[in-house]
Amino acid sequence: MLSLSDIHNSSFGSERREKIMILLRAGKRIPIGRSHTINLKYDTDLKKLLKKKKVKIISEYAGSYSHKYVRHSYIVINEV
């Protein structure tokens, strides 16, 4: 079974992009923009998948004890 750590530890390229797509097709979401997650600014594979419109970014808002609203961003498969 493929996990997020497999993607983090892979080098950039077509094999890594295929791993990302396999993970997303399995119904997983990839968190971005938080500590210890993938940073979209430096990830060329996710940039390429976004440009080709194979994936998209969604944002969810959740309440927490310390903040009224917290935004979480995820990469999901684009179902167009």
Share of the chain above pLDDT 90, in %: 54
Which letter does DSSP use for residue 80 in this model?
A: -
Note down the domain range covering 64: 4-77
Helix (H, G, I), strand (E, B) or coil at 20: helix
The pLDDT of 6-27, averaged and rounded, is 93
Whose tokens are 């935004």? That residue is 71
Structural domains counted in the chain: 1
What confidence score (pLDDT) does residue 71 get? 79
> Which residue is listed with tokens 């923009």?
33
Q: What is the pLDDT of residues 63-77, one digit of tens each?
A: 767 767 777 899 999
Model-level pTM?
Answer: 0.83
